[in-house]
Amino acid sequence: MSTPTSSRAERMRLQLREEIVQTAAEVFAERGYHRTGIADIAQRLGVGNSSIYAHFAGKRALFDVVIDDAMSGVMSLLTAENAPAAADTFEDYQEQVRRIASGFTVALRDDPAVLRLLRALLVEAGGVDEELAGKASAFTDAATQVTAAYLGHGRSRGYLRADLDVEATARVVNAMIFSVALEETRREATPEETQRIVDATLALYFGGVAA
């Protein structure tokens, strides 16, 4: 259905755009926003500096796209294949959360850049732009909504504490998840270490520390 004249060129163009985003994601994740230069990205991709400007208005705009991708990637992980309403017992819920956690773990093992990008967003946000800071807040809020939906469902079903402050707890839980994930990517933990952390997180989540 696309016009024949632009079809091949257009495909090439979109492919390059995608490659730029991929490469930019890598470099931003490795070095952070400020230490990454446009030249670094172009060089790694093997294109000229200004080819990037043919697709993006500038460094900041490119970072925006990269961050949006990372955000939606993480959102997919949070929401994937498990509806909040799916669990009806605490056991089901535990199983559901474990599946999500496992999905996270696997996804981040395969593509740790997503997490580092999130770190770049959440951490450097204030050091780049007011606008970016706003985007970070929005993302946190959205994630809170998702988690709160799960918690609200569980509370109403009765398998979570009746006095649970759903919104506040959602916020805490997400903070915990992101922190742990960031920590683990930062210190380049082994899979075993990561598993211990994940287990400890889930144990804390489900039962607290009390004997």
Partner DNA sequence: AATGAATGAGTTTTCATTCAT
Partner DNA sequence: AATGAATGAAAACTCATTCAT
**Which range, of 56-64, 109-117, 154-162, 176-184, touches DNA by CB under 7 A?**
56-64
Is residue 85 a contact residue for a copy of itself (CB under 8 A)?
A: no
**Which range, of 59-67, 73-81, 103-111, 135-143, touches a copy of itself by CB under 8 A?**
135-143
Angle, CA of 71, 25 and 118, to the nearest 5°: 35
> Any residues with CB less than 8 A from the CB of 124 and at least 6 apart, and which?
32, 33, 34, 132
Strand, helix or coil for residue 174? helix
Binding to DNA by CB under 7 A, coded x per residue (else -) over 5-44, reads ---xxx-xx--x-------------------xxxx-----
Is residue 24 a contact residue for a copy of itself (CB under 8 A)?
A: no
CB-facing half-sphere around the CA of 201: CA atoms within 13 A: 24
Shortest separation between residue 174's beta carbon and a copy of itself, angstroms: 8
What is the sign of the dihedral through the CA atoms of 2, 12, 115 and 87? positive
**Which range, of 15-23, 37-45, 65-73, 124-132, touches a copy of itself by CB under 8 A?**
124-132
